[in-house]
Chain A
Amino acid sequence: MKACSFSYHRPESVDSAVAMLAALAPAGGRVLAGGQSLVPMMAYRMAQPAHLIDVSRFAELQKIEAGPAGLRIGAGVRHAVLRRGAGGEMLAFVAGHIAHEPIRNRGTFGGSLANADPASEWCCVLAVLGGVVEARNAAGVREIPAAGFFAGVMSTALAEDELLTSVALPDLAGWRWGFYEVSRRAGDYALAMCLVAWRLEDGVMRGVRLGIGGAEAVPRRLPAAEAVLEGAAPGDAVFARAADAAAAGIDPMTDHNVGAAFRRDLARAAVRRALARAA
């Protein structure tokens, strides 16, 4: 389990990283940020990049800024930084479900999104909150809304020469939120997760956003479940109906550990428990 030979590059700036990516991506060049997904794949020789372009040290990519549109999080922000609360309470809580502390110290927010593992917590957050991804290449900067970002398992709208530089997430001040993840062991890849948020107005739920991750090829909002909740008062019975709608509405991923019926049951459990936490 030793990686194949590769060339390691450490550009001095984001601009030179982008230029390097333009030149090397067609020749098997890839971005190296935290390396917590890429390097193990390289060790198993499941990934064999000829070039690695290290973007992990740019201060420019590690900023977290609150602005009028919400929170802008640099792609290079480590999970551990968000775990410690730099992005607010909800992101800190979600970050606690990502692997284990040593991995969180290295892995990055942007890396997780670009990697697009179906069980990625940040991918679920992006899909549910409806953020906007900023990507940069030699030609310039582009914005990709969450709804158009995920293409499939480990596949996004990013072109091979595009560097994910930051993400803008809407401000959820005053919203109720809940997150629940089912995993086999502490820190394992999620078998199913749910993020839900709403504004409580006059005792009923408004603007409901509910989505799941880890259960389908890509994380997404579940309109059928949201419709059950929208305008209703929080309560066990409506939560159960929303969870049932979620379970029925998904196209479940299956493998030798989790069949379709079990995945639906896991999604149902994650949704019901996320809702209970939000209430």
Chain B
Amino acid sequence: MTKWAGKSITRFEDLPLLRGEGRFTADLKAARYLRFVRSPVAAGVIEKCEAPEGVVMFTAADLAAVGKIQPMIRKFGYVPIAQPVLAEGVVRYTGEPVAAVVGESEELAEDFADSVWLEISPLPVCVTAEAALADGAQVIHPGMDSNVVVATEMATPGHAAAVAGARHKVAVSVRSRRQSALPMECRAGHAALDAATGRVTLTCTAQMPHLARTAIAALLGMDEADLRVVAPDVGGGFGQKMSLAAEYVVLVWAVRRLGGTIAWIEDRRENLMASFHSRDMDVRVEGAFDADGRFVALTGDVTANVGAYAPYPNTAAVEPLMSFTELPGPYDIKEYACAARGVVTNTCVSAPYRGVARPAITLAMERLMDKAAVVCGLDAAEIRRRNLVRKFPHVTPTGLVYDNASYVETMEMALKAAEITEFRRRQAEACAAGRYLGVGISVFCERTGYGSAAFAARGMDIQPGWENVEMRLDTEGVVTARIGASPHGQGLATTLAQIIADAVGIRPADVVVVHGDTDATPYGWGTFASRSLVISGGASLIAARKIHARLREVAAERLGVAADEIEMADGFAVVRATGARMSVAALSQFSGGIAAEGFYDPLGTFSNAAHVAFVEVDVETCLVRVEKFIVAEDAGRLINPMIVDGQIHGGVAQGIANALLEEIVYDETGNILTISLADFLAPTAHEIPAIRILHRETLSDATITGAKGLGEGGTIGAPAAVLNAVNDALRPLGVEVNEMPVSPRRLHAVLRGVS
């Protein structure tokens, strides 16, 4: 029964949040506050770190027994670099935590941190991947031969021959500049020690509370049972809060030492400087095409600047390896060669941020398609038409399996809505008047909802992927679902309620979803990689069906009919023929409630979309405006279309930001220049146009709810659409831009022919 799936019911999460009744980590009062003393330089030897009399300060020496953060993958020659939770002997990036001080208020803690005398003698600095790869570059981690932390390459057997025999070869190099996820709420942790039991409760902004608990307990040599992690309302994560914060480890260590309650409330400067960065990448692609503009081969080369350490659990390999694995995108490419590497530098750690490597590789592929279109004498849509995968399941050269989808169909939907012919007329008129308008498209598929097999294939020691749901129907007819996913804005409590209501035969208002507290939920992997609806949704469906089946059995018995004569809806079991009925509550009372579990570990499913961006480029001021944006999207069955549209809006906004505005900048000494929202430019409502969204639902066997994930699609496709539009606008001027963000400075250099 699908009475609730597909409906845009308003979210249960919203009213409390809008009324200011949300409970965020910083709302909890603490007796003491922790503040980190952070390295003011990018590389150096710590000579002295001294606090004045009366200031409580901890350094690495105090935390000698604490383990190092050292995520592992056992493939691709990955070097398991290790991060001390407080810098040990040397600092490796500006902002690295060197010491922690404690004060009775945040203000005092900051005063104490400012009073610490920190002396560091500088070491040579590598800020860019290029510098870190150069001959004679300073090797940043001891025991390594170079700064390459992971490297891999592959070539399909026929690749070289296919390239040699190609009619057309087109290449493009794109540069993706460093990003920050910029959650509205910075990171925070509140640790409380229960003196009687020795147990610590850590309330924190985590996307993976169970894994945080496992990891922190292991690093501190604690039993997991002695640590409870609670993720309350979390104000956005976008991946930044999935990676383990060294600061949480120090915080829990400190509360075990000092007792009581201690909180760490990260401020915006810290978050920009020293949380996690992302996608500082060079992607070069070369397409080899036949006379009809069809791919005969693709060659890729990816260099990712991964920062000074490795994020837990994904490792420093996550961006280069994802690029390597997913570069072909939605295109039917049989011969593929790629070399990818991750390079350590003296910058903040790079970790997954919504889309991870895909915004950069999609940019590369979509710029390639536009350029190849010109070389092959085809229109931008036609070359894609000839190359997009049409038959499913499709196996890529790297072994990914694309399930049933609609790559071509969504492109056609988007193009139709875009009315390109009419736009070309307007564009020509505007050009004659000295104004430069452009339109650009991007087409992509998005890997979502993948389970443990995918993580095992990556060679990760930590293999997230499955989800458990513990479900219980009580005697009042309310279902409580305890989940291991950890939503932080995705509306999962609402969408799961819709799935469960349909499957059991009750209403969404009769479903309570419990998440975020490791004491109250089964072990699970949290929320990231567009997985929660697919995997927790799938597990919820499995558990709910069991409860439904039991209810039907009891109802048949009690109403004296066969099980298949009963309908279940809105909290009642009704005999179809007679209308005789019993409430779900009453049925449940016969056994004092009904419990069931669901476990789901899918292989994964690929959603897809096409984006169209319309821009105007002001060639005098070098400013770019996005005038209009269209998304045609297919994520299988939509459980709550309004929530889906919300995800798309947010993702597209971040994608436009990536294309035009947001950039973390270091100077040549490794000093970070973008440390406030005056420097790191997030888009406002003025910069994001109305986004028109069209939907298609292609069902796939790869996901038992029929729903695919889609949370990252906006960020994956939007930058490419915007950059293609900018290049379309600039075509009459004979210049090209392949770097994002397209800042005014960059555009000025391109337009004035200066490099």
Given the contacts A185-B687, A266-B621, A1 and B267 also touching, CB distance less than 8 Å: yes
State the CA gap A261–B748 with chains docked (Å). Answer: 9
Q: Which residue of B lies closest to A272 (CB)?
A: B620
Is there an interface contact between A184 and B681, defined as CB atoms closer than 8 Å? yes
Chain A neighbourhood of B678, CB < 8 A: 189
Q: Give the Cβ gap from A79 to chain B, nearest Cβ, in Å.
A: 18
Is there an interface contact between B269 and A5, defined as CB atoms closer than 8 Å? no
Which chain B residues (663-713) contact chain A, with CB distance < 8 Å?
665, 667, 673, 676, 678, 681, 683-684, 686-687
- Of the candidates B106, B686, B687, B744, the one whose C-beta lies within 8 Å of that of A262 is B744
A-B contact count (CB 8 A): 62
Is there an interface contact between A184 and B107, defined as CB atoms closer than 8 Å? no
**Contact of B569 with A by CB under 8 A:** no
Is there an interface contact between A184 and B623, defined as CB atoms closer than 8 Å? yes
**Contact of A186 with B by CB under 8 A:** yes
State the CA gap A182–B620 with chains docked (Å). Answer: 10
| Chain A 240-279 interface mask (CB, 8 Å, partner B; 1/0) | 0000000000000000111101100110110000000000
**Contact of A44 with B by CB under 8 A:** yes
Given the contacts A1-B267, A1-B269, A2-B106, A187 and B622 also touching, CB distance less than 8 Å: no
**Contact of A142 with B by CB under 8 A:** no
Given the contacts A184-B681, A185-B681, A262 and B623 also touching, CB distance less than 8 Å: no
Q: Which residue of B lies closest to A266 (CB)?
A: B621
Given the contacts A186-B686, A186-B687, A262 and B111 also touching, CB distance less than 8 Å: no
Is there an interface contact between B676 and A44, defined as CB atoms closer than 8 Å? yes
| Chain B 314-354 interface mask (CB, 8 Å, partner A; 1/0) | 00000000000000000000000000000000000000000
**Contact of A151 with B by CB under 8 A:** no
**Contact of A10 with B by CB under 8 A:** no
Q: Which residue of B lies closest to A188 (CB)?
A: B681
**Contact of B74 with A by CB under 8 A:** no
**Contact of A84 with B by CB under 8 A:** no
**Contact of B114 with A by CB under 8 A:** yes
Interface residues on A, range: 20 to 34
Given the contacts A1-B267, A185-B684, A262 and B622 also touching, CB distance less than 8 Å: yes
Is there an interface contact between B269 and A185, defined as CB atoms closer than 8 Å? no
- Of the candidates B110, B665, B687, B748, the one whose C-beta lies within 8 Å of that of A265 is B748
Interface residues on B, range: 20 to 34
Q: Which residue of A lies closest to B105 (CB)?
A: A2
State the CA gap A188–B673 with chains docked (Å). Answer: 18
| Chain A 181-220 interface mask (CB, 8 Å, partner B; 1/0) | 0101111110100000000000000000000000000000
**Contact of A4 with B by CB under 8 A:** yes
Given the contacts A257-B745, A258-B745, A182 and B621 also touching, CB distance less than 8 Å: yes
Chain A neighbourhood of B743, CB < 8 A: 257
**Contact of B720 with A by CB under 8 A:** no
Q: Give the Cβ gap from A160 to chain B, nearest Cβ, in Å.
A: 25
**Contact of B485 with A by CB under 8 A:** no
Q: Give the Cβ gap from A10 to chain B, nearest Cβ, in Å.
A: 21
State the CA gap A15–B725 with chains docked (Å). Answer: 60
Which chain A residues (165-189) contact chain B, with CB distance < 8 Å?
182, 184-189
Q: Which residue of B lies closest to A268 (CB)?
A: B620
Q: Which one of A2, A182, A257, A269 has the greatest number of beta carbons of chain B within 10 Å?
A: A2
Is there an interface contact between A256 and B667, defined as CB atoms closer than 8 Å? yes
**Contact of B43 with A by CB under 8 A:** no
Q: Give the Cβ gap from A237 to chain B, nearest Cβ, in Å.
A: 15
Q: Give the Cβ gap from B457 to chain A, nearest Cβ, in Å.
A: 42
Chain A neighbourhood of B681, CB < 8 A: 184-185, 188
Is there an interface contact between B673 and A256, defined as CB atoms closer than 8 Å? yes
Chain B neighbourhood of A187, CB < 8 A: 684, 686
State the CA gap A139–B413 with chains docked (Å). Answer: 75
Chain A neighbourhood of B416, CB < 8 A: none
State the CA gap A268–B621 with chains docked (Å). Answer: 9
**Contact of B386 with A by CB under 8 A:** no
Is there an interface contact between B752 and A261, defined as CB atoms closer than 8 Å? yes
Is there an interface contact between B107 and A265, defined as CB atoms closer than 8 Å? no
Is there an interface contact between A257 and B267, defined as CB atoms closer than 8 Å? no
State the CA gap A257–B748 with chains docked (Å). Answer: 11
Q: Which residue of B lies closest to A183 (CB)?
A: B623
- Of the candidates B107, B622, B752, the one whose C-beta lies within 8 Å of that of A2 is B107
State the CA gap A45–B107 with chains docked (Å). Answer: 11
Chain A neighbourhood of B268, CB < 8 A: 1
**Contact of B661 with A by CB under 8 A:** yes
State the CA gap A258–B267 with chains docked (Å). Answer: 28
Given the contacts A256-B665, A259-B745, A265-B748, A182 and B623 also touching, CB distance less than 8 Å: yes
Q: Which residue of A lies closest to B270 (CB)?
A: A1
Given A4-B111, A184-B623, A258-B745, 8 more pairs with CB closer than 8 A = A3-B107, A182-B623, A185-B686, A187-B686, A257-B745, A258-B744, A265-B621, A266-B621
What are 30 inter-chain pairs, A to B, with CB distance below 8 A?
Answer: A1-B110, A1-B268, A2-B106, A2-B107, A2-B110, A4-B111, A44-B269, A44-B676, A45-B110, A182-B621, A184-B623, A184-B681, A184-B744, A185-B661, A185-B684, A185-B686, A186-B687, A187-B684, A188-B681, A191-B621, A256-B667, A257-B744, A258-B744, A259-B745, A259-B748, A261-B752, A262-B748, A265-B621, A265-B752, A269-B621
